[in-house]
Amino acid sequence: LMRATTERVSFFSFLFSASGPAEVPMMSPNGSIPPIHVPPGYVSQVLEDNTGVRRVVVTPHSECYPPSYSPALSPSHHIHPPYLTHPHFIPQLYCEIKCESVIILALQVSNVQSRSALVSWTSVSVSGSSGRVPYCSYELQLKDKGRDGKYKVMAIGDILYTFWITLDLTVCVFYRVSTVCNSVKGPSSDARAFTTHSAPPDTPLPPRLSHRTKSSLTLQWKPPADNGSKITNYVLEWDEGKKNSIFREYYVGHQRHCKVMRLCPAVGYTFRVAALNDIGTSGFSTEVVFNTTGSLPQTSLPPRLAQAGPSWVRLEWTRPNSCSIEEVVTYTLEMQDETKVLNSPLLQLFMKSVSLCFNSHCFSFTINSEPPQDDGGSGDLTYVLEISEGNLEESQWMTLYRGPERKHLCEDLKPATSYFLRLSCVNVGGQSLCSDDLTVRTRIPPPGRCQPPSIVGDVKHKEMTLQWDGPLCGEESENVEFSLEMCAMEEGLEPMEVYCGSKTECTVGNLLPGTTYRFQVCAANSAGYGPYSESVEISTAAGPPGQCSPPAINVTSHTCADVTWENKVSSGIDISEYRLDWGCDLDSLELVYSGTETCFQIFNLEASTDYCCRLQAVNQAGAGPYSDLVTCRTPAAAPDVVSGFRHVDHPLNPTENEPFSHSTCLALTWDEPHCNGAEITSYSISMGDRIITTRSVTGHIIRDLLPDSEYSLQIRAENEMGPGPFSQTLTVRTRPLPPSPPRLECAAVGPQSLKLRWGFSSRSQLTDDTTYILQMEDRNQRFVVVYRGPSHTFKLQRLSESSRYRFRIQAVSEAGEGPFSDTYTFCTTKSLPQTLKAPRVVQLEGNACEVTWESIPPMRGDRISYVLQVLGGRDSDYKQVYKGDETSFQLSGLQWNTDYRVRVFACRRCVDTLQELCGSFSPSAHFNLRRSDATLAVEADITRVPIGKTLSDEQFAGLIVFGVASLSVLMAFLLQLLI
């Protein structure tokens, strides 16, 4: 709202900030100027500026001012004070601009509801020469299509530019907005049309009682306004006679009448009704109570004398046991063969010196009197009977009788009127005192004859509305009820009461179309029923036909059926056509025949299928109700033609006992056809002159065929009804024979690898697209694919040493997969010991040193030995100085200042083959013995003895050589000292 207010202020500021004619921008996508309607005396011009914007200038001839305009206020921002409190207030700008009209630019209708809509508009003032903006008011006008077609003013506002309509609207309502400036009406806006939404139905009137018995109540109700959506159902609820304000559903349906059954006699039941449409449910009607009729009461016991006086008695009696507590019971007390009806459970009769006796006529009664106890000494008495009507205090007494008789008949009295009587005696001595007043009320006569019923409105085919005039009753008469009886014009039918109530109008429903009924009405009051009026005969309008008898179906084959029906007697009008609906179930029924014939043949049915149909008769008054649904089932038949007959590369259910070859076998499959009510027992495949019978499965393998040959195949299904038609011909071709497996060889072997190769003995079998599949047996003795491709060699890595492996190979070409070769077994060799690291050398005392190296654990149970070689001095080759299981060795008798190199390798002693496998040499370790100052000149020990080990032959020979050399050196040293 604030944003709209800001835009509105800026817009009006632009229009009214300058004096002179108002320039109104009029934009359109195609550059054209929309037509502007101006009042008489206005001149409009179209101007175009340098930017290409076209404007309309409207020049008026009079000046307009707002009612509260003051020259002392700012001419461009004056706000009229009364609008400050308006709920839709928006600041209104006024300028000193001449204007006579306000143009409505846009009228919008939004937020349309079922009974309301939001109307908004935008207005622009067309100024004159004075530059003042007029004081304007807006009128919102409404026009309904269904009414007189005239616009009616729905709202008037000063600066109001939006309005919320909350009236009772209907569909297709037009709105129009116009402006008034200083009592001069401006041009109207373009009309906007819209349709209000549908709504739930109005709350219906309470149901009416049309007929009742001791165990049933027949109710009727009128449809309320549906508010744009057709009423689909009515909901009738009742309290089950429990009077606990808890209602339960008794009937839900589209009928507007219902008969409530299995009720108790003389019990009141509360009902209410609601209507439903596609939008929602209406409210429930007001609650209404209807009572069932009661049983005839038992014979009452004789009245009992409760109390007696000199001239009055008090009588009592007991309520019959057969009457329920809720049932209203009236009593009739008879006395002296004359009847007086008293509607009270406890009757009191009080008689004084004057006794009263009613006559059979309602407007008279007889007065009896006893002579006074004291006649005054004179036997001649004259009785004076006085009567007064109405209130005793305001009444005037008048003499009704004067004479010697002690009995008088009072006649020509008003019915249902209270009278006061008193009696006195007159003799020669004068007049006695009056007796006590006796109050008497005349009875009400039964009503007179009513006028015959007459028709109200049009007579429909199932109901009519009747009205009548009651008898002329006086002002003192009690409430009168009417009883309307109806009897069909057929012999032997008793009239039935169709209405009983106080109204003089009744709608009679559930009638037969085109039928004549006789009606008569009588009135009743507390005195009883009056005579019936003259009877009147009224015929209902011709209506749609009644319900047709169910048609008969004769199934002639599994695809055809004949439907026949009887000629239906119409309801006053000849039948114009019959409509036959046919389908598999109630939801799929479709119209298959419409005409005057009484038979129809249906084709293209499916075998062993349930079908149903229903019939409807139509005349000029409309369509009658459908007949009861009739069902049938077509017989079974041979299966339909097989579809989806095709050749597949792999069988759906292969068997291990029978290998599959694409060169000599064909794998076929197909879709199961419709069995037509009998289960398929087998399939027949035609291959030339050969017929192959299969089971009821949808796949088969044909074996023992010729390679690279073409075959034409057909298939059909069979059941107990016989074979079906053959399918279309399927042409297939077997593949050529696949290649035989190649010969497999081991090209290279290692402790953890095997290199295999293969090839054909005949080069004619080699093709470029041949693929080889190499399989190896795993630990579970299953062959798994280790290579698939066109190569002729393959190397397997990461194998276990000294292990056996089984292989087989297969060749695959366009002809298919060839057989697997025989199983080949290849073994890996044992692993050589690993190459050791360079040994470590530590110099000892004298000319000795200790050599150590790393150890290797046993390999698969085989022991590991080590070989140590030394290179030094004048030797050009390494010499073995140690072989054993130890990982260290001491060298002694070495020469000083001489370079030595040592290396070591490991050997594996195979237990199973007694073979010794030696590894590679380790890197050599270099060392040089240096003599220290504390070293002795003579070294006595020149023997090299391995620690804790016996010498081998090579070691022993080396030791002798080393000892001789050492001895020679020692002797030379001694001789030098001696000289």
Q: What digits encode the pLDDT tens for the residues 335-360? A: 764 433 333 333 222 233 444 454 44
Does residue 162 surpass a pLDDT of 60?
A: no
Nearest to residue 275, comparing CAs of 266, 262, 267, 284?
284
Distance in angstroms (rounded) separating the CA atoms of residues 554 and 568: 20
Element spanning 955, H or E? helix 953-978
Q: What 3-state DSSP class applies to 79?
A: coil
| DSSP letter assigned to residue 965 | H
Give me the mean pLDDT over the 800-825 stretch.
89
**CATH topology match: 103-122+135-194 vs 208-291:** yes
Coil, strand or helix: which one is 799?
Answer: coil
pLDDT tens readout for residues 669-705: 999 998 888 999 999 999 988 999 998 889 999 998 9
Q: What is the DSSP letter of 956?
A: H
Cβ partners under 8 Å of residue 670, min gap 6: 642, 643, 644, 645, 646, 683, 698, 699, 715, 727
CATH, domain 208-291, list 3.30.70.980, 2.60.40.10, 3.10.129.10, 3.40.50.620: 2.60.40.10
- At residue 42 the predicted structure's pLDDT band, cuts being 50, 70 and 90, is low
Q: Delimit the domains of the chain by residue range.
A: 103-122+135-194, 208-291, 454-540, 552-633, 643-732, 743-827, 840-929
pLDDT digit string (tens) for 520-531?
999 988 777 889
Query: What are the tens digits of pLDDT across the range 384-420?
Result: 888 888 766 666 888 888 888 888 888 888 877 888 8
CATH T-level assignment (fold) for domain 643-732: Immunoglobulin-like (2.60.40)
What gap in Å lies between CA 256 and CA 232, rounded to an integer? 11
Report the pLDDT value the prediction gives residue 138, as an integer from 0 to 100.
72
Dihedral sign for Cα 336, 339, 342, 346, please.
positive
User: What's the half-sphere exposure (Cβ side, CA atoms, 13 Å) at 653?
Assistant: 5
Rg (CA), the chain: 64
Cα–Cα dist 104/34, whole Å: 13
Residue 474 scores a pLDDT above 80: no
State the Cα–Cα distance between residues 561 and 300, nearest whole angstrom. Answer: 71
3-state secondary structure of 961: helix
Alpha-carbon distances of 495 from 292, 506, 541, rounded to whole Å: 20, 17, 21
pLDDT in tens, 224-242: 988 888 999 999 999 998 8
pLDDT > 70? residue 772: yes
Alpha carbon 169 to chain centroid, angstroms: 31
**pLDDT for residue 756:** 94
Highest mean pLDDT among 36-50, 147-161, 204-218: 204-218
> Residue range 254-259: average pLDDT?
91
CA distance 255 to 273: 12
More confident site: 218 or 127: 218
Give the pLDDT confidence of 869-918 residue by residue, as tens digits: 999 877 788 999 999 999 999 998 888 888 899 999 999 998 888 888 89
661 phi, psi to nearest 5 deg: -130, 130
Q: Which of 377, 358, 374, 376 is nearest to 366 (CA)?
A: 358
Class at the top of the CATH hierarchy for domain 552-633: mainly beta
The string of DSSP letters for 675-720 reads: -TTS-EEEEEEEETTEEEEE-SSSEEEE-SPPTT-EEEEEEEEEET
pLDDT of 803 over the 80 cut: yes
The residue ranking higher by pLDDT, 111 or 348, is: 111
> Rounded to an integer, what distance in angstroms lies between the CA atom of residue 878 and that of residue 921?
11
Instruction: Please tell me the CATH code under which domain 743-827 is placed.
Output: 2.60.40.10
User: Cα separation of 117 and 749, whole Å?
Assistant: 96
Query: How far from the centroid of its chain's Cα atoms is residue 728's Cα?
Result: 46
Q: What is the DSSP letter of 31?
A: S
Q: What are phi and psi of 342, to 5 degrees?
A: -120, 125
Tally Cβ neighbours within 10 Å of residue 153. 10
Residue pair 574/492 in contact by the 8 Å Cβ criterion: no
Give me the torsion for CA of 340, 341, 347, 352, rounded to 10°: -30
CATH class of 840-929: mainly beta
Give the whole-angstrom CA distance, residue 423 versus residue 435: 5
CATH number of 454-540: 2.60.40.10
Point out the least confidently predicted range of 182-186, 423-427, 488-492. 182-186
Domain 103-122+135-194 class, CATH top level: mainly beta
Nearest to 34 by CA among 136, 147, 159, 187: 187
State the Cα–Cα distance between residues 521 and 501, nearest whole angstrom: 11
Q: What is the mean pLDDT of residues 755-784?
A: 80
**Residue 754, amino acid:** L
Among 342-351, 507-516, 633-642, 933-942, the least confident range = 342-351
Q: How far apart are CA 906 and CA 853, in angstroms?
A: 10
